[in-house]
Amino acid sequence: MKNNTKKTVLVLSLSTIIFLLLSLLYSLFAQMDIQNEYLIKSAFLYNFSKYIQWDQKHSTGPFVIGVLGQSEILGPLEGIAQKKKVAGRSIEIKKYSKLEDIQTCHILFVSTSDRKEIERTLDDMRNIKKSNILIVTDSEGGAEKGAALNFIIAGGKVRFELNDLALKRAGLEASSQLKKIAVMIKEE
C-alpha cells in the first residue's frame, strides 16, 4: 500500500511540474506574440510615413510619432527612431497622456488602453480641420469612428483599415499603393 501512495504522490508531483512548465511556456509564447505584434505595428507606423503626403509647413524639423496612452509599441518605435530617418529627417518619439499635450505630431498612435479616451480623441480630432496629424488606432471599429488608419488582425496577420474621409479631413493624402493594400472603410 505504501508503494502505491508513493507512486500516486510522484505522479501528482510530476503532473503539477509539467502543468507549471506548460503554463510558463504558454505565457512566454503569448508574450513573444504580443512583442512581435508591436514590432510589426511599429514598422507599419514608420512605413506609413513613406505613403502619406503632409503639407509643406510640416516638412521641416524632426518627424514626430506620438503615442497617446500606455502602449507596448513605445519600445519598438524608439528602436526604429534610433536607426531610421523619414525623408532625411530624424524621428522623435513622444508619449502623451492626454490630447491637450500634443504640440507637433505627424503620426499619432492612440493606444487601446482606454476605449472612452479613444472615442473622445477621435471626436475631438474630427473637429480640427486639416490638423495634418495621421491618427492610427488599434481598436475595434477605430476607422469607422474616425481614425485615418486602424490596425486589425486578419488571417493571423497584422493588416490595417484606411478611412479616406478621415485622411482628407486631416489634410492628408494617401498614395495609391497604400490604398491598394489597405482594407478601405467608410466612416459611421
State residue 150's pLDDT score. 95
Average of per-residue pLDDT values in the chain: 81
C-alpha cell at 51: 505613403
CA atoms of 154 and 181, how far apart (whole Å): 13
Of the listed ranges 11-15, 28-32, 113-117, 182-186, the one predicted with least confidence: 28-32
Q: Which amino acid is at 118?
A: I
Domains of the chain (ranges plus CATH)? Answer: 12-17+21-184 (3.40.50)
Q: How far apart are CA 39 and CA 33, in angstroms?
A: 10
pLDDT of residue 12: 52
Q: What is the mean pLDDT of residues 15-43?
A: 58
Q: Does residue 122 sit in helix, strand or coil? A: helix
| pTM of the shown model | 0.78
The Cα 113–Cα 72 span in angstroms is: 10
- Residue 88 reports pLDDT greater than 50: yes
Counting Cα atoms < 13 Å in the Cβ hemisphere of 111 gives 18
**pLDDT value at residue 56:** 78
Provide CB contacts within 8 A for 93, sequence distance 6+. 64, 65, 66, 67, 74, 77, 78, 81
Per-residue cell: 44: 507599419
pLDDT at position 100, please? 81
In terms of Cα–Cα distance, which of 79, 72, 84, 71 is closest to 35?
72
Residue 146's pLDDT band (cuts 50, 70, 90): confident
The partner residues of 137 in beta bridges, in order of sequence, read: 110, 150
pLDDT at 13: 57
What is the Cα–Cα distance from 160 to 152, expressed in whole angstroms? 5
Q: Is 86 helix (H, G, I), strand (E, B) or coil?
A: strand
- Give the span between the Cα atoms of 183 and 161, in whole angstroms: 4
- d(C-alpha 35, C-alpha 74), whole Å: 11
Which is more confident, 137 or 12? 137
Asked if residue 118 has pLDDT above 80, the reply is no
Q: How far apart are CA 86 and CA 74, in angstroms?
A: 18
* pLDDT, tens digit, 9 for 90 and up, residues 46-81: 999 999 999 877 778 899 999 988 888 999 999 999
Q: Summarize the confidence of residues 110-124 as an average pLDDT.
A: 69
